[in-house]
Amino acid sequence: MRELAPDTRRKVRAALAAALVDPTVGDPLRDRLDGYRRIRIGRWRVVYRARGRVLEVVIVGPRNTIYGDLLTQLGRR
pLDDT per residue rounded down to tens, the chain (77 residues): 778 899 999 999 999 999 999 999 999 999 999 999 999 999 999 999 999 889 999 999 999 999 999 999 999 86
Gap between the Cα atoms of 71 and 66, Å rounded: 9
Q: Is residue 54 part of a domain?
A: yes
Total number of domains in the chain: 1
Question: Cβ neighbours of residue 33 under 8 Å, at least 6 residues apart?
Answer: 47, 67, 70, 71, 74, 76
Q: Is residue 34 part of a domain?
A: yes
3-class SS of residue 34: coil
State which residues form the domain around 57.
6-74
Instruction: Kindly compute the dihedral angle of the four CA atoms of residues 19, 22, 24, 25, in this order, to the nearest 10 degrees.
Output: -60
Q: Is residue 57 part of a domain?
A: yes
**CA nearest to 56, candidates 33, 36, 70, 27:** 36
Q: Is residue 1 part of a domain?
A: no
